Amino acid sequence: MKGQSLLLSPPRGRRIPPGPIIARIPLESAKAYPIRIWQGLGHNPRIAYSDRNSHNEDPKLNIKVVPGGGKTAPHPQLALYVDGPYHVESLGYLKTDPFKWKTWMEVHLDARDLDQLIHYLIMARQELERQ
């Protein structure tokens, strides 16, 4: 990663096992909080953050059927994952201790897209039933 900024999306290779992608649904934002990684290092905690509205990024929720379960399970799986550009932020707006946060990830979907999400989840179930 020589020369790559730690504040921008790194080049990405293939991570999710092969299988049909059922949908790519636009998200308002997605945030990952790998807070505990930073604990004890003497650095401010950082988050990976992709936001359509304030940063003009384009996070997508992917719904994918993994027929053989990939490497992690002996049965079919449904994979939900987010891709798209993101940036890394230091937490300058802390009101509580981030090392005590219960969550480690958030995904925000425009509520008007809920019917679309339900539709694609049903399609994914049907795809799994065909296998």
In this prediction, residue 11 has a pLDDT band, given cuts at 50, 70 and 90, of low
pLDDT in tens, 51-108: 999 899 999 999 988 877 777 778 888 889 999 999 988 776 667 777 777 888 899 9
Tally of CB atoms within 10 A around 25: 20
Token reading at 19: 């299988």
Domain residue ranges of the chain, discontinuous segments joined by +: 21-130
In this prediction, residue 3 has a pLDDT band, given cuts at 50, 70 and 90, of very low
pLDDT in tens, 32-43: 987 777 777 777
What is the per-residue pLDDT for 57? 94
Residues 22, 24: Cα–Cα separation, whole Å: 7
| pLDDT: which is higher, 101 or 118 | 118
| Sign of the dihedral defined by the CA atoms of residues 60, 73, 126, 15, in that order | positive
Q: Which helix (H) or strand (E) holds 106?
A: strand 105-108
